[in-house]
């Protein structure tokens, strides 16, 4: 059945929209610096005729950045997106998208006026059919070349200020691989080896969590449009106290190859995946951008990593300490920040002391290092689909912190954060434009919830429904497996019943045959097969007291 559905998806998928739309990757668009495509619904730029949006000048913040990046005018991500475009679509009401053709996160319908909350679930609570669907969607996105957007392969200067466009076609999945590379790449200062490494527009500073929240929402949005499955959500991997890579099975993200432990098992579709934008050192040595060509197979070797850098996977205690930190970010707001929730969750603050510049990486960063392959490179980590499951749980912890501490909007820094991370800064390389502060809000305001955070103590109808949903999804995989094996259980029960009747009949026949024989006297049977006396059963109260010590508390 799933094969038929996948074929249907391949033949009649819905086009998707994202960074550098084709209509804005032309010589004319680059030279005029205007990215205001028409909306096919009414044929007007930004859907203006339908009141969806208008083409407006981009306004960027003038607030000062931190001292970590001491240059100006050298990097295309500075004051994003002004190097490429100074006019873009600004959408009204609940409309969104580079041409205002989509709905804001959490809204649906022709006029984007239907509110709906999606539920992100633990990947181990998915049924077998849902797991197959997840892997199928991932592979479909990887194999489908985008019709509507491209990625940039050269700097604006290399493009001769727009007269020589440099873009490449990639798949729906790989555009997000490229996005993660582009936001975290080194700054090119000119010439081979001349780069600035202490810069990252999506990591090592306050925007780390908002940027990845926007990233996951856009990825989820594109999968829905590609497949037509508007109920799709990104599952998460709860890696607290994990003893290994629980999701590394052929049913999920791929087992380890028996021929080469750094490769994916041939039994997984991911063994055929090829990575891109994963050779950061090579790009820096040559002073160039990733050109979006294939660079080899997806690699992963969980557990065979540098133990001096990562001692173990994060524990429940590490998570609880991190969530207890009251300040979102502190001091210079970079990897040296002390007692910073963001820096500790990102992995550069010690999850036991909260001190920054930790010699050992923890939390989020520990997972990347532990995977010891494509995931261990910041710029190329999104090549591995585990990246999505991992960051969905990181986002879940971010959401838990927001609900526990309820920070005021001004806790997010307005100025003096590392470049790209001030509250009013437009996230690179997103088009449509988003500001960092737009995602320093609860997931509920963005239209999604986590089963991990459902509170059964809230006696509202909505929360009761969510709690029942959580219980149902937890039991669903077991019930599905039971459904598959019940005919065999029934057959075994029938065979057992027949065998029991046969044995009983044989015993009765034997007893009648030898009736009256002295060696079959009941007392002789009793002594011949007497069993030693057993200890009395433990009282039910003692059982309850014992079980209480075995419960595991939730986060």
Q: Residue 115 pairs with which residues in a beta bridge?
A: 107
Alpha carbon distance 61, 42 (integer Å): 33
Strands 107-108 and 114-115: antiparallel
Q: Residue 414 pairs with which residues in a beta bridge?
A: none
- Three-state SS sequence of 271-307: HHCECCCCCHHHHHHHCCCCCCCCCCECECCCCCCCC
Q: Residue 120 pairs with which residues in a beta bridge?
A: 450
Rg of the chain on CA atoms, in Å = 29
Alpha carbon distance 128, 131 (integer Å): 5
- Contact criterion met (CB below 8 Å) for 365 and 309: no
| Cα–Cα distance list, 511 to 98, 499, 500, 506, 525 (Å) | 89, 18, 17, 9, 13
Alpha carbon distance 174, 310 (integer Å): 28
* Two structure tokens written together for 314: 């994060």
Alpha carbon distance 21, 537 (integer Å): 72
Local structure of 396: helix, strand or coil: helix
Local structure of 195: helix, strand or coil: strand
| Architecture of the domain delimited by 22-304+372-476 | Orthogonal Bundle (1.10)
The dihedral built from the CA positions of residue 437, 72, 178 and 157, taken in this order, carries a sign that is positive
Torsion of CA 347, 183, 399, 100, to 10 degrees: 180
The helix (H) or strand (E) run that includes residue 218 is helix 208-227
pLDDT at 486: 53
Alpha carbon distance 438, 412 (integer Å): 11
| Cα–Cα distance list, 219 to 121, 141, 261, 377 (Å) | 16, 10, 29, 20
Q: Exposure pattern of 326-345 as b/e (b: 16+ CB <10 Å)? A: ebbbbebbbbbbbbbbbbbb
**54 CB contacts (<8 Å, ≥6 apart)?**
46, 48, 89, 90, 92
The helix (H) or strand (E) run that includes residue 506 is helix 461-513
Alpha helices in 73-207 (DSSP H): 128-143, 172-184
pLDDT at 20: 82
The dihedral built from the CA positions of residue 449, 452, 458 and 462, taken in this order, carries a sign that is positive
- The residue ranges of every structural domain in the chain are 22-304+372-476
Alpha carbon distance 110, 107 (integer Å): 10
- Contact criterion met (CB below 8 Å) for 319 and 555: yes
pLDDT at 552: 22
- Contact criterion met (CB below 8 Å) for 381 and 277: no
Alpha carbon distance 270, 163 (integer Å): 39
C-alpha triplet 8, 11, 15: angle, nearest 5°:
110
pLDDT tens-place values along the chain, 555 residues long? 444 344 343 333 333 334 688 899 999 999 999 999 999 999 999 999 999 999 999 999 999 999 999 999 999 999 999 999 999 999 999 999 999 999 999 999 999 999 999 999 999 999 999 999 999 999 999 999 988 789 999 999 999 989 999 999 999 999 999 999 999 999 999 999 999 999 999 999 999 999 999 999 999 999 999 999 999 999 999 999 999 999 999 999 999 999 999 999 999 999 999 999 999 999 999 999 999 999 999 999 999 999 999 999 999 999 999 999 999 999 999 999 999 999 999 999 999 999 999 999 999 999 999 999 999 999 999 999 999 999 999 999 999 999 999 999 999 999 999 999 999 999 999 999 999 999 999 999 999 999 999 964 443 444 444 445 444 544 555 555 545 555 555 565 666 666 666 666 665 655 555 444 443 343 333 333 333 333 333 233 332 333 322 212 222
Nearest Cα residue to 185 out of 176, 170, 197: 197
- Contact criterion met (CB below 8 Å) for 104 and 96: yes
């Amino acid at each position: 059945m799933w094969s038929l559905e996948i074929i249907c998806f391949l033949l009649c998928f819905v086009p998707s929209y994202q960074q550098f739309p084709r209509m804005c990757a032309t010589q004319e668009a680059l030279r005029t610096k205007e990215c205001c495509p028409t909306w096919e619904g009414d044929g007007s730029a930004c859907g203006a005729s339908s009141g969806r949006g208008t083409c407006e000048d981009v306004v960027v913040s003038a607030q000062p950045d931190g001292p970590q990046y001491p240059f100006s005018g050298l990097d295309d991500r500075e004051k994003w997106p002004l190097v490429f475009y100074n006019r873009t679509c600004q959408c009204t009401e609940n409309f969104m998208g580079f041409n205002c053709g989509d709905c804001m996160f959490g809204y649906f319908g022709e006029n984007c006026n239907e509110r709906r909350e999606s539920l992100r679930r633990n990947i181990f609570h998915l049924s077998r059919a849902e797991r197959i669907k997840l892997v199928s969607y991932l592979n479909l996105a990887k194999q489908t070349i985008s019709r509507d957007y491209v990625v940039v392969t050269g700097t604006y200067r290399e493009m001769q200020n727009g007269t020589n466009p440099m873009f490449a076609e990639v798949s729906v999945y790989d555009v997000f691989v490229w996005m993660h590379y582009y936001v975290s790449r080194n700054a090119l200062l000119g010439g081979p080896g001349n780069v600035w490494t202490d810069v990252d527009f999506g990591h090592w500073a306050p925007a780390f969590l908002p940027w990845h929240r926007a990233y996951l929402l856009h990825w989820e949005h594109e999968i829905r449009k590609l497949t037509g499955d508007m109920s799709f959500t990104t599952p998460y991997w709860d890696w607290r106290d994990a003893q290994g890579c629980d999701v590394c099975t052929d049913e999920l993200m791929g087992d380890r190859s028996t021929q080469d432990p750094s490769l994916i098992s041939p039994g997984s579709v991911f063994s055929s995946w090829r990575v891109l934008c994963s050779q950061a050192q090579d790009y820096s040595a040559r002073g160039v951008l990733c050109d979006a060509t294939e660079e080899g197979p997806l690699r992963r070797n969980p557990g065979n990593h540098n133990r001096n850098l990562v001692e173990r996977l994060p524990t429940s205690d590490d998570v609880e300490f991190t969530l207890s930190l009251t300040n979102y970010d502190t001091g210079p707001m970079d990897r040296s920040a002390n007692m910073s929730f963001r820096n500790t969750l990102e992995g550069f603050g010690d999850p036991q002391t909260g001190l920054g510049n930790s010699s050992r990486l923890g939390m989020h960063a520990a997972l990347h290092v532990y995977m010891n392959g494509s995931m261990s490179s910041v710029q190329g980590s999104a090549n591995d689909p585990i990246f999505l499951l991992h960051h969905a749980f990181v986002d879940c912890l971010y959401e838990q912190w927001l609900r526990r501490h309820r920070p005021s909007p001004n806790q997010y820094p307005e100025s003096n954060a590392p470049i790209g991370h001030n509250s009013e800064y437009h996230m690179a390389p997103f088009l449509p434009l988003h500001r960092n502060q737009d995602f320093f809000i609860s997931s509920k305001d963005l239209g999604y919830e986590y089963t991990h955070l459902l509170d059964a103590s809230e006696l509202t109808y909505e929360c009761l429904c969510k709690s029942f949903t959580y219980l149902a999804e937890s039991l669903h995989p077991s019930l599905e497996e039971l459904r598959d094996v019940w005919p065999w259980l029934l057959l075994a029960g029938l065979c057992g019943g027949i065998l029991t009747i046969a044995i009983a009949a044989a015993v009765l026949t034997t007893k009648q045959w030898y009736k009256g024989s002295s060696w079959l006297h009941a007392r002789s049977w009793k002594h011949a097969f007497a069993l030693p006396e057993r200890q009395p059963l433990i009282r039910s109260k003692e059982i309850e007291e014992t079980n209480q010590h075995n419960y595991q508390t939730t986060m």
